């Protein structure tokens, strides 16, 4: 058993006791009221379940275990996974131990590649990714131990074992899909001397003479790790996992939600808009020109992708992190210059228009431009990249929920007739 597992084993009794105490003392307390508009409007804003891995503050954005994102922006994805699970950053020995567990599980079985090779040539990379994960489900340790009669109090242990195995394999699987789908040549094996994100960068085969693409992947795969529990991908994975489906089934359910145009595809739409600006002006426009372009765009009935946030009252700190990375590493690039300029122009335009209460950018407004700059220009692959990271949050939530014995998700629905007659 690794140091991470030992730490969780020591923490979990206190977490279980805390949950029991809160239920006993505050079980009848009301944490949310539901309006008819919310019931018809996707349950937005309803407080309905617990997620301790992270929360999203309107004024600060993503907070991971009490740490505002920008305070921990330089940590590795392995460190953020440890933080999501335990509430503490790993020390040197704990990080080394977790990294060793990940490296020991990075191999993707050959039968997975055989299945992927048999898929239609025009299969979407997300379809290939989720298929690859499902093909590996037969190796689930949780499934084996559950069938053998493992105690309910121990469910979290094989869930974590499956989770580490899956997280370890995702860069190998995703990079292999990238090279296979986009005809980049033979797969590149992982390097045991590299960290998780750097390995992914190298396995894509993208030219990286200065190592900056590796740095971008370390940042990208860290900042997309989690976004509390109510987003589509996290909630889908939570719901499926609550039925005691193993992490392979549960993560795939979340990733299928992430594949939707209203969730994980947003960075593609943002980049397409930036490219439309560049192509329209055939240069980087000035602020006046860009403002006029945005006004015409809005008047045509369209929205400026990446702006007008439903929750945040500030710029998404993930966006800020990418902008800061670009300012440090990217110089004289038209696309990034336009992204940076949009941040100066669009919030003011949206406020003047009066339709967006919160005109601030989210992470998607910047991330695609950086990927594009470093040569990852295949839009269809961007959601796969998002998936590699977000799996960490899904799995961390699963482990904690199984440790706490969270029951199956089963909200009560009502009919429209009931609304008509009883409200």
Show which residues are catalytic: 263, 309, 364
In this structure, what are the phi and psi dihedrals at residue 362, rounded to the nearest 5 degrees? -105, -175
d(CA 323, CA 362): 12
> Residue 224: which of 8, 336, 370, 373 has the closest Cα?
370
> Residue 329: which of 416, 219, 203, 241 has the closest Cα?
219
d(CA 202, CA 189): 9
Output the CA torsion 124→371→167→143 (10° steps).
-20
CB 242 within 8 Å of CB 49: no
d(CA 271, CA 374): 14
> Residue 202: which of 210, 190, 192, 193 has the closest Cα?
190
d(CA 73, CA 355): 32
Q: What is the DSSP string of 195-224?
A: -HHHHHHHHHT---TTSHHHHHHHHHHHHT
């Amino acid at each position: 058993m690794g140091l991470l597992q030992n730490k969780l084993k020591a923490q979990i009794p206190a977490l279980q006791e805390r949950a029991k105490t809160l239920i006993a003392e505050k079980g009848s307390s009301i944490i949310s009221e539901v309006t008819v508009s919310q019931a018809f409007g996707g349950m937005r804003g309803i407080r309905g379940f617990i997620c301790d891995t992270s929360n999203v503050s309107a004024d600060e954005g993503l907070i991971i275990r009490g740490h505002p994102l920008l305070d921990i922006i330089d940590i590795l994805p392995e460190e953020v996974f440890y933080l999501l699970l335990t509430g503490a950053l790993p020390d040197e020995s704990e990080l080394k131990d977790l990294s060793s567990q990940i490296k020991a599980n990075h191999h993707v079985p050959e039968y997975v590649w055989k299945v992927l090779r048999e898929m239609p040539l025009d299969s979407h990379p997300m379809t290939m990714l989720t298929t690859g994960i499902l093909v590996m489900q037969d190796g689930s340790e949780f499934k084996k131990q559950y069938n053998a009669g493992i105690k309910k109090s121990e469910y979290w242990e094989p869930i974590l074992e499956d989770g580490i195995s899956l997280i370890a394999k995702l860069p190998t699987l995703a990079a292999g899909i990238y090279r296979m789908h986009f005809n980049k040549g033979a797969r590149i094996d992982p390097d045991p001397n590299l960290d998780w994100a750097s390995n992914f960068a190298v396995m894509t085969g993208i030219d990286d003479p200065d190592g900056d693409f590796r740095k971008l992947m370390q940042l990208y795969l860290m900042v997309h790790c989690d976004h509390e529990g109510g987003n589509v991908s996290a909630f889908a994975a939570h719901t499926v996992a609550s039925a005691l489906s193993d992490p392979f089934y549960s993560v795939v359910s979340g990733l299928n939600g992430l594949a939707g145009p209203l969730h994980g595809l947003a960075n593609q739409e943002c980049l397409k808009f930036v490219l439309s600006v560049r192509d329209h002006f055939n240069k980087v426009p000035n602020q006046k020109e860009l403002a006029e372009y945005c006004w015409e765009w809005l008047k045509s009935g369209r929205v400026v992708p990446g702006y007008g946030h439903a929750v945040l009252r500030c710029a998404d700190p993930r966006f800020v992190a990418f902008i800061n990375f670009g300012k440090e590493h990217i110089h004289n690039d038209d696309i990034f210059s336009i992204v940076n300029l949009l941040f100066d122009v669009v919030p003011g335009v949206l406020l003047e228009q009066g339709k967006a209460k919160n005109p601030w950018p989210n992470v998607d407004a910047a991330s695609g431009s950086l990927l594009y700059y470093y040569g990852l220009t295949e839009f269809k692959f961007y959601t796969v990249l998002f998936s590699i990271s977000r799996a960490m949050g899904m799995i961390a939530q699963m482990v904690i929920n199984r440790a706490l014995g969270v029951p199956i998700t089963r909200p009560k629905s009502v009919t429209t007739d009931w609304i008509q007659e009883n409200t």
